[in-house]
């Protein structure tokens, strides 16, 4: 294996708790459990979709919810969210095997870089949809990383927390793995599913790059 292609928020960095809390509290100052679950189900599809749907369902201006989301990102500048459990170990296993840690994310570059910098996290390369790539499940970001690093699809593994991440990888010929959030069902027929990033560590301990 020569590269691991990461999604960023919700896969490499544990952004969901802060985002879910901010959106739920933007809908209701003291959100109950059904509202929290409603928000969590929506954000696992996309933050933009969550904002649009919540605004419509709860008769709120989208700008109100968007402001709550943007405030969360500003909060991260001083208090970044943690890495996902097992992320550091998996990155290290890939690195030790001679493989690259690459990122394909929907976030704008400033936001994505701020998350990585706040955690002191170095990746080998990153592509961001706002740089001019269509959003997943389009495979363009994955293909761009393959081309940049002269990687064959079969030499790589991709991991993400949304079905679109897996679809983008598979469309580019890369094996995709879905990192599931416990209690949040996701429609991804046929996808390989894991509940912990640690499940992928053996993929990089079977040998070095190229295996």
Q: Is the peptide bond before 137 cis (omega within 30 degrees of 0)?
A: yes
pLDDT digits (tens, 9 = 90+) for 92-117: 999 999 999 999 999 999 999 999 99
* C-alpha distances in Å from residue 127, one per residue of 123, 133, 144: 11, 8, 8
- β-pairing, 175-179 with 192-194? parallel
Q: How far apart are CA 56 and CA 28, in angstroms?
A: 14
The string of DSSP letters for 84-108 reads PTTHHHHHHHHHHTT-EEEEEESS-
Burial of 61 (0-12, 13-18, 19+ CB in 10 A): exposed
* Ramachandran angles phi, psi of 191, nearest 5°: -75, 145
Q: What band does 206 get if pLDDT is binned at 50, 70 and 90?
A: low
Give Rg (Cα) of the chain: 17
Q: What band does 209 get if pLDDT is binned at 50, 70 and 90?
A: very low
Give 103's strand partners.
Answer: 6, 126
How many helices and strands, by DSSP H and E, does the chain display? Answer: 8, 6
pLDDT at position 182 is 82
pLDDT digits (tens, 9 = 90+) for 127-163: 999 999 999 999 999 999 999 999 999 999 999 999 9
């Amino acid at each position: 294996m020569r590269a691991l292609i990461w999604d960023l928020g919700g896969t490499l960095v544990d952004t969901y708790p802060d985002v879910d809390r901010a959106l739920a509290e933007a809908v209701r100052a003291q959100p109950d459990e059904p509202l929290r679950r409603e928000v969590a189900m929506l954000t696992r599809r996309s933050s933009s979709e969550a904002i649009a749907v919540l605004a419509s369902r709860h008769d709120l201006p989208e700008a109100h919810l968007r402001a709550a989301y943007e405030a969360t990102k500003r909060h991260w500048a001083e208090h970044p969210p943690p890495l996902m459990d097992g992320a550091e170990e998996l990155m290290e296993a890939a690195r030790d095997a001679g493989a690259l840690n690459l990122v394909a994310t929907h976030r704008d570059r400033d936001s994505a870089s701020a998350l990585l910098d706040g955690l002191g996290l170095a990746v080998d390369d990153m592509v961001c949809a706002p740089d001019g790539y269509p959003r997943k499940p389009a495979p363009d970001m994955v293909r761009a990383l393959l081309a940049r690093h002269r990687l064959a699809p079969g030499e790589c593994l991709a991991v993400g927390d949304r079905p679109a991440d897996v679809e983008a990888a598979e469309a580019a010929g890369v094996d995709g793995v879905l990192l599931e959030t416990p209690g949040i069902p996701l429609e991804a027929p046929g996808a390989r599913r894991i509940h912990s990033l640690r499940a992928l560590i053996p993929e990089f301990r079977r040998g070095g790059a190229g295996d």
